[in-house]
Amino acid sequence: MVSRENAVILLCMAAGLALAYGGRVLTELSDTVLIGALLTVGVVVPQLLNGYLDAREEA
């Protein structure tokens, strides 16, 4: 059984990779922008989302 935190992280990682790859193929964005998008969606968003969901469970 996959925990909620792991599911959120895996979903965000997959979305970040798809966004970065799609941005590479479909746009002329620089690598710096694409890496920033990957890190934002794959690292920052899951931390914020898990923090929000944890706080909501405690309330």
- Per the CB < 8 A criterion, the answer to whether 20 and 40 are in contact is no
Per residue in 4-59, pLDDT (tens digit) is 999 999 999 999 999 999 999 999 999 999 999 999 999 999 999 999 999 999 87
Residue with tokens 């998008």: 37
pLDDT of residue 40: 96
pLDDT of residue 1: 83
Q: Report the candidate in 2, 6, 11, 4 with the shortest Cα–Cα distance to residue 42.
A: 11
pLDDT of residue 17: 94
Q: Report the candidate in 5, 6, 17, 7 with the shortest Cα–Cα distance to residue 42.
A: 17
First-residue to last-residue Cα distance in the chain? 25
Instruction: Provide the whole-model pTM.
Output: 0.86
